[in-house]
Structure 1
Amino acid sequence: MNLVSFGLIFTGVMLNAAAQILMKAGTNAIGHFEFSTANILPIGWKLATEWHIVTALFCYGISVVVWILALSRVPVSIAFPMLSMAYVVNAIAAWYLLGEAFNPTKLVGMGVIIFGVIIISRA
């Protein structure tokens, strides 16, 4: 895999991770809600106008374009597993930015993911 291909995959992973963190920040800003017939429009409006969520959707849109570019250069059997690195990025970002728990079990799981991605990328 050349540097451009790696850069595209890395950018796609980071955009997906950013989108997830932004979605969580948006739902944190809105608070817990229940969907019901009575509140579909009010909650839908809150979701559609919450800047974190709008930015997350923008990140997803850009990531689709980046991902298409990546897939034009890298076999999907190598590229797709690399998306799992978003789990690692998200766990660290959620701990750092959102104060979510980070423990040895998550660290071991992230190590397994990283090891798996290394194995797949060398195949």
Structure 2
Amino acid sequence: MNNINSINWISWSLVLIAAINSGIGNLLLKKSRLEAPDPSLLTLLLSPWFMAAIIVYGINLIVFAKALDSLPVSTAYPVFAAIGFSLVALIGNLLLGERFGLNQMIGLGLIVTGIIVMSR
């Protein structure tokens, strides 16, 4: 029994790490476009911010896949998504000055509530 609890704790920690990585990857993508001297595809592909995002997403895939070793995807992914939505909205506001007003707070609350209900 103790071993099962240990595995779940590790798996949920991996979900959290993957969600944080996903948020970081999304912010790196945004940064790649903000720093671009022009909107061309080549500029995007050669951007160090874009390359960093690809690396972070690659790590994210590995970490989340490992979490799925012992968690059902129907539970793990909604939690992953809720954390990711929350982080991107909050960090986008703090670091990029993106809007995070009452409508965004209510919407995020509804998303998180829906995910909690769905994953039970």
TM-score, length of structure 1 as denominator length: 0.83
Aligned to 2:92: 94
TM-score, length of structure 2 as denominator length: 0.85
Matching of residues 13-32 of structure 1 within 5 Å:
13-30=19-36
Matched residue count: 113
Aligned to 1:59: 56
Matching of residues 1-123 of structure 1 within 5 Å:
2-30=8-36, 33=39, 43-85=40-82, 86-121=84-119, 123=120
Identity, in percent, stands at 27
- Structure 1 spans left out of the alignment, 5+ residues: 34-42
Structure 2: how far apart are the matches of 1:58 and 1:118? Answer: 30
Structure 2: how far apart are the matches of 1:13 and 1:87? Answer: 9
Amino acid at match of 2:106: V
Verify the 8 A CA contact 1:18 1:59 in the aligned structure 2: yes
Amino acid at match of 1:110: L
